[in-house]
Amino acid sequence: MSQGKAPKSGKAKREAIKANRAAKQAKRQSTQRPVAAPPQQQPSEPRPQER
C-alpha cells in the first residue's frame, strides 16, 4: 500500500482516489448514522402529533 504516493497511470490514481473517497464516506456514514438518525426521528415525529 506504500506505492500510493508513487506516480502511476491515470487509472491507478483514479482508483486510489476512489478507494480513499469510499473509505472516507464509509467512516462519515458510520459516524453520522447513530448521531443523526435518532434525533431526527424522535423530536420530529412526537411533537407534531402531540400538537
Average pLDDT over residues 17-37: 74
Q: Can you give the pLDDT at residue 8?
A: 64
pLDDT(19) > 80: yes
pLDDT(17) > 70: yes
Alpha-carbon Rg for the chain in angstroms: 20
Binned at pLDDT 50, 70 and 90, residue 26 comes out as confident
Percent of the chain as helix, strand, coil, to the nearest 5: 85, 0, 15
Q: Can you give the pLDDT at residue 29?
A: 72
Where residue 34 falls (left for φ over 0; alpha for ψ -120 to 50; beta otherwise) is alpha
Mean pLDDT, the chain, rounded, equals: 68
Sorted by where each begins, the domain ranges of the chain are 11-37
